[in-house]
Chain A
Amino acid sequence: MKLKTALLGAAASLALAPMALADAHEGERGRDGEVKIIYWQAPSILNPYLSGGTKELEAASLIIEPLARYDTDGNLVAWLAEEVPTVANGGVSEDLKTITWKLKPGLVWSDGTPLTSEDVKFSWEYCTAEGGGCAQGEKYLDVVSVDTPDELTAVVNFSVAKPFPYGPFVGAQAPIIQKAQFADCMGPKAPECTDENFGPIGTGPFVVTDFRTNDVFTAVANENYREAGKPAFASVTFKGGGDAAAAGRAVHETGEYDYAWNLQLAPDVLAGMAEAGLGQNVAAFGTSVERILLNQTNVDPALGDQRGVIGNPHPFLTDKSVRQAMSMAIDRALLTEIGYGEFGRLTCNVLPAPAIFASDANDSCLVQDIEGAKGVLEAAGWTDTDGDGFRDKDGIKLSVLYQTSTNAVRQDYQALIKQWWEEIGVETELRNIDASVFFGSDPGSPDTFQKFFADVEMFTNNFDGTDPEAYMAGWTCDQAPQPSNQWQGNNMPRFCSEEYDALRAEMAVTGDINERARLAKAMNDILMQEYIILPLTHRGRNSAHAVSLGGVALNVWDSELWNIADWYRIPG
């Protein structure tokens, strides 16, 4: 009895400990002065509907908020809504065609006026207005109407059954904006409303006071914020620009800033910075995977405007044994250790997370097998007949052009992979392209990652939120970037499989989560076992904050600044 009581007491004190800590930093609003944040890419606007950039989304998340958002584990949590609607609680209709959101009662905008379901409806109208080029249009896909039966209820109607109805008004990409402020900024007039776009009125913990585009903005605590005693900081200075190394030093070594975003630096460099003792690195794992894509179309410049067009198959990357050998030759453990250290994990999947979607059928890729790779090529008839050190067959030499963006870690990856590929007899030519060109969407440039005018390319991609349907739909036949669709689409390798397309179609009408997981894994396994995509590293997002800044919970599923209302200064 005594022991049990003691254990219970210990358990209770453990459970209470975080609460006690939380109590220690509660107090009146604005008690902790200023917090300084540095993003090495500067926000150009504070309206996420007019920009697809992460920097704008995250900057805006200080000010405007969605109905629900994702927490650090990728779970949906109610934000402006009272609860997350589900089929179980009656918020989502049985036919999966309507979702009913209930707002928390008593919410007000920072100007003191009440937030109503009209504002929710307006946010949808704003983004889908005719002639308005909304950057987040896909969030509102298939929405036919939003009804507002009363001030606190918004009902979203979809034209089709939506197994995952949490697109509209969820996450940093689809926040609620004020109808009174943006009513005159619909459609083509949206980009002209400079004052509104630079200083939206929101429900978030901060209110913009001064916004200088592509440079810096300042904000002060929102006096009308719904939670008493929050935010702890009276003001925010949000500085943009510079590079990752400078941002890292500003937090770790000089202490000028409290928070630095996305420090894409080699692990030994970050560790060296952290030795100064002013800051600490934090990492969290989302869905980002550094991957190699193998082009299935011929991109020989001699083809002119037929380059990369489906119907001109690649001379040797269409041979599965070549792709398999190229995958087997890669030592993923070594790459990850050198490039990302503790901020990277090994993976053999292009869909590594959330856990229920991660397949374990491909784990053999974790071990490098140079001899095995040579054997695969030999068996397929690729031998070095002309004695130049590289394999060939029927007059076709295994020689690849390997492109990626300019980034120190990527160039290290390129150097290592080139060495392994040349060891198995595949000649490799490296090319690196400035990131703004490579990831730019200029249809006139031949160097974009979507045109993929190279044999092999490498970059990182991920998906927002936790549902992989849209992400996996990116590798269906009709998603291949082609001249006919102005080189848009996510199927850069221009892979096409009927089996894959069938699985994708099945997923679009499947509501059960376990069944969706099975389909997503099966699609992932097709891509992996056909060696169209060679995953290299499951990358964490890493940021740094000053040791004196408390409450930071790095979130890869939503804005990194999602819980800035809970941030506080650790005394001392």
Chain B
Amino acid sequence: MTDLTNVEMEVVEKPRSQWRDVWDQFKTHKGAVAGLSFLIFITLFAAVGPFLWDVDPGRLDIRNKDVRPIYMGLFDSSAKVSWANPMGTDNLGRDIMANIMQGGRISLAVGWTAMVLAVVLGTTIGVLAGYFKRLDGLLMRFTDLVLALPLLPLLLVMMLLFRDPLRAAFGPETGIFLLIVAGIGITSWMQTARIVRGDVMALKEREFVLAARSIGTPARRMITRHLLPNVLSPIMVSATLGLATAIITESALSFLGLGFPSDFPTWGKILFDSVDRMTSFPERVIWPGLAISLTVLAVNYIGDGLRDALDPRIRGH
């Protein structure tokens, strides 16, 4: 009898990992699932696309300039369309689809790397300032200092100081990539640090922290085991915002001539290059614009879904 009961109990209480719970909760958020699907799609589009669509984004073909996207043929039979350029070509005959793929690679890579850098920096500084009272004043005044730094002049100075050494060490593209990622990363961690510090200070006073401390948990364990999991949701949210900001900042920099060389497409640069001809060729603005805004929106939704899924009170049982 007792054996049987035990078996039944085991069936009901089948052990579930925490991450499985998180995933189940995440799946109930429709926006987050849609966002994740889009993000996977756009990442594959940029990463794998160029292998399938084997067109050099920098190749000029003047005879085939100003080709309209293929769907224009539906509305306007006289439009210049071609299956060789399904999204059309720009005013120098470069294929827009190949450019958006190549631009996506750069924009996403800059966005993700700068965001990860900013989040790691921000979380570290925030947790240290919130947990160790001695460091608080020092770190927060440092944060104030960095907050007061204007990004553009700072990047100008960085360009002057480091461009030539980086170009010599890593080549023009990788050198600029590192410079931009570092520039964006080290100028956008402050908000994360402020939020994390506030949350950590509030958590420090909670009973479970007191309990953990009374059994002698060292600071390192306290942070990784008790504090970090509880501040994960604000970190996620600022990470998603950070990704969006990084993509947009990179676009602005490219426009000002501080970013990548002009023959190196990014979404922001394709967008800026097309603004003059926006009325005649709206698709050249719409495609990169859609790519930027949908990516940012998708990441925001994922952040929202993750926040809900990671919060045990919402996840519930």
Contacts and interface: CB of A to CB of B under 8 A. Distances in A.
Given A272-B280, A301-B164, A415-B60, A406 B91 contact: no
A445 interface: yes
A505 to B, nearest CB: 39
Interface stretch (B14-22, B203-211, B239-247, B255-263): B255-263
A245 B160 contact: no
A139 interface: no
Nearest to B274: A408
Interface string A411-454: 11011101100000000011111100100000001110000000
Given A266-B276, A269-B276, A430 B263 contact: yes
A356 interface: no
Interface of B: 58-60, 62, 91-92, 94, 156, 160, 164-165, 168, 172, 255-258, 261-263, 273, 275-277, 279-280
A265 interface: yes
B276 A414 contact: no
Contacts of B92: 338, 412, 415-416
B262 A434 contact: no
B263 A414 contact: yes
B257 A406 contact: yes
B60 A419 contact: yes
Given A301-B168, A415-B92, A334 B256 contact: no
A430 B261 contact: yes
Contacts of B263: 414-415, 418, 430
Interface in A229-274: 245, 265-266, 268-269, 272
Given A408-B276, A419-B59, 6 more contacts: A334-B62, A415-B92, A415-B94, A415-B263, A431-B262, A432-B257
A434 B258 contact: yes
B280 A429 contact: no
Interface of A: 245, 265-266, 268-269, 272, 301-302, 334, 338, 405-406, 408, 411-412, 414-416, 418-419, 429-434, 437, 445-447
A412 to B, nearest CB: 6
A245 B62 CA distance: 24
Nearest to A272: B280
Interface centre among B92, B261, B276 (most CB of A within 10 A): B276
A446 B275 CA distance: 30
Nearest to B275: A245
Contacts of A411: 262, 273
A272 B279 contact: yes
20 contacts: A266-B277, A268-B277, A301-B164, A338-B92, A405-B257, A406-B255, A411-B262, A411-B273, A415-B58, A415-B60, A415-B94, A416-B60, A429-B261, A430-B263, A432-B261, A434-B256, A434-B257, A434-B258, A437-B156, A446-B160
A301 B168 CA distance: 9
Nearest to A438: B257
A197 to B, nearest CB: 29
Interface pairs A-B: 5 shortest CB-CB: A406-B257, A301-B164, A411-B262, A430-B261, A432-B257
Contact of B262 (A245, A272, A415, A446): A415
A269 B160 contact: no
Contacts of A301: 164-165, 168
Nearest to B176: A431
A416 B58 CA distance: 10
Interface centre among B62, B160, B168, B262 (most CB of A within 10 A): B262
Contacts of B91: 266, 268, 338, 412
Contacts of A272: 277, 279-280
A408 B273 contact: yes
